Amino acid sequence: MNLPKSIIAICIISLLNTACEKESNQDNVVETTTTMAERKGMNLTNLLGTWVNQADSEKSFALYNDGSVAQNNMKELALKDWTLEDNQLVFARKGSEGEQTVMNAQKYELIDLTETELIIAKDGDTLTYHKQ
């Protein structure tokens, strides 16, 4: 009779250890992400402001603290708002397919960020912006 109770106790302890281990791994992911941004020397508050495309100075966008985006001469992108996920700058886009309005996300890898320069990449293309 003690054998089944022992097996149940061992199973419960194993499950608890596994759950704690997964929670611990999640903490490490957050720590690693923070460390990566710090290691690159990026101050994420530098993202706020107006950014002008280096290749085409007529195109620019502004990132605001409330997550909204304003854009100039970039209507084809139809950017609605922005967030930062891990090491990616994510723009929510509003587009249309026929008569339907479609929302999707466009993600860019954050390569470098200083007080005056933003470098992002997507699908092998690197874009450089300067703060206005």
Q: Is the pLDDT of residue 28 over 50?
A: no
What is the model's pLDDT at position 31? 41
How far apart are alpha carbons 105 and 95 in whole angstroms?
Answer: 11
Span 87-98, mean pLDDT? 78
Helices (H), the chain: 2-39
Q: Give the pLDDT of residue 122.
A: 94
Predicted pLDDT at 104: 82
Spell out the CATH class of 41-131.
mainly beta
User: What local confidence, expressed as pLDDT, does residue 121 receive?
Assistant: 95
Residue-level pLDDT at 80? 83
What is the C-alpha separation between 124 and 18, in angstroms, rounded?
39
Listed by start position, the domains of the chain span 1-39, 41-131
With CA atoms as reference, report the closest residue to 61 among 46, 69, 77.
69
Ranges 2-6, 41-45, 87-91, 125-129: which has the least confidence = 2-6
